[in-house]
Chains A and B, each alone.
Chain A
Amino acid sequence: MKCDDCQNLLAEYIDGETIDTEAEQITAHLITCAACTSEFEALTAEQDLFARYDRELEITPAMWTAIQARTAAESRPVVSSSKFSPREWLIGLFAAPRFGLAFSGAMAVLLAAIVIGVMYLRTQPQIAPPGEVVIAHPPGSVPPPPIFETRPSPVKDKAIEQMPSPYIARSKNSGGSKGATLETSRRPDQNDVLFSDIAYTEIENKDTTNHIAQAQNLLRSIRSIHLDSEADEVDVTYEKAMSRRLLDENVVLRRDAETSGKYPVKALLGDLEPFLIDIANLPDKTTLKELRTINDRAQKTEIVAALQSY
């Protein structure tokens, strides 16, 4: 084994991530090579140094108490394995109710949920019941900016227009005047309100919308390269870099969507990911054949249409 190869693999070797044959070669090389042994010792010394890192963090009983208070209300009683007793059941029917900690906790959480819900609804613009047409913007008119926008700009307005807000859903079956944008509304999901920070949900939606818009642009750009170019090879350096950035974003947003239970968004991002991976892995100078394969698959799966309809 050469010194360069050995030094490239030393960190993985220390981490125990090299395959057996590589590990054997490195071990053999280290016996004979002073320079690599010195590098190995430096890396080991660093590991030892990091092992001494003490954050001086304490797990206080208060932490568990706080978690218990929040989870107690949600925990279901453990199912008893004892036999069913009609006598005990009858006694239970007439027994006085016991208001234990769990019940108090549940009431506290319920009360907090109602207060948060009321406060939240009061901060929202007036919305009509589901299915009812709220706003019909004639072509060219500017819709009122959402409340979280402090500095409206044309670019942002466009992004927001495409954004599937949890409170305003776009109706596809407009049936109204041509070009008019119809918006219907639905009530915010109370579980969403409890589960995560409202502001964060807005940020997440905005991030996802921007991300999807950029992914659409990328796929269109790949398509246009293919159509316009007559050369055998095409330079896709820019598209690759963009795809790599979008891929990282996509993974984060997909996981966020999964965590917050937004499964349609998660599925859409999941469908998009293979395209981003393929584009990111293209050679800088790629052939039209490779681009055509990606385009064909994009057409077959209708990914651009799916992104558009988001």
Chain B
Amino acid sequence: MKRLAQELSLEGQPGAFAASLMNSSADLVARASEGDQEAFRLIFERYSRPVISFIYDLVSDRGLAEELTQETFVRAFRNLGTLRQETKLSTWLFGIAKNVAREALRGRIRENRHVDLDDKAVLDLTDHQPVPVNRLLNKELNDLIQRSLALLDDDKRLVFTLKIFQQCSYEEIAEITGFSIPKLKTDLHRARSEMRKRISPYVRFES
């Protein structure tokens, strides 16, 4: 997770190479906004993984997450000129991704194609005894987290995924979501409690 956070920001990295500096986010944005496709490809390579992960956490659908990631980068390309210098590229991209995902979710709700997730149905593990965390298989763990995440409401899921998985600061989350800091703190606190409540029956932490 820390490695991911470091990848997102080249600024302040000790021993950054000259080549890296040439390909700093600001430089890539400047080149891409002049129509340089190669610079935009580098932006895509650098940020596509966090963006698709973020979108997947919001929509819980692999195919849709891929489509929406494409849409996010197309919109980013079209609007590169509007990116302010003081805004971090990752923050800006997450902001676009959030809007794209929200539009898709709204459309899905309007079309009644969404599935109401039910606690019992979703977390239907056969063995209800808590398993030591180190004995939980990766697949089981992934399913458990993904399904618990899907049960959070939109705002809590948004804040939780940005903080816990994308390691954004409160200021960045506020910029991406438009929420006030007190609201996002409350949402995050509640999201953590809900996640703990849903995961703890299945996982036992051992010191």
Contacts and interface: CB of A to CB of B under 8 A. Distances in A.
What band does the interface of chain A fall in when counting residues whose beta carbon is under 8 Å from B? Answer: 35 or more
Kindly name the residue among B31, B35, B78, B96 whose own CB sees the greatest number of chain A CB atoms within 10 A. Answer: B35
B102 A74 contact: no
Given A59-B49, A63-B66, A200 B106 contact: yes
A49 interface: yes
A64 B41 contact: yes
Interface in A61-95: 63-64, 66-68, 70-72, 74-79
Nearest to B193: A11
User: Taking chain A's interface residues, is the majority helix, strand, or loop, or is none over half, making it mixed?
Assistant: helix
A50 B164 contact: yes
A34 to B, nearest CB: 12
A203 B96 contact: no
A303 to B, nearest CB: 20
Contacts of B170: 15, 17
Interface string B37-73: 1001100100011001100110000100110011001
Nearest to A51: B1
A197 B58 CA distance: 20
B160 to A, nearest CB: 9
Interface residues of B, number: 60
Nearest to B66: A63
B141 A46 contact: no
Interface of B: 1, 31, 34-37, 40-41, 44, 48-49, 52-53, 56-57, 62, 65-66, 69-70, 73-75, 77-78, 95-96, 99, 102-103, 106-107, 110, 133, 138, 141-142, 145-146, 155, 163-165, 169-170, 177-180, 183, 185, 188-189, 192, 195-196, 199, 203, 205, 207
Interface of A: 11-12, 15, 17, 41-42, 45-47, 49-57, 59-60, 63-64, 66-68, 70-72, 74-79, 195-197, 199-200, 203, 248, 251-252, 254-256, 259, 277
10 contacts: A11-B189, A46-B195, A46-B196, A46-B205, A52-B141, A53-B146, A57-B53, A75-B37, A195-B78, A200-B103
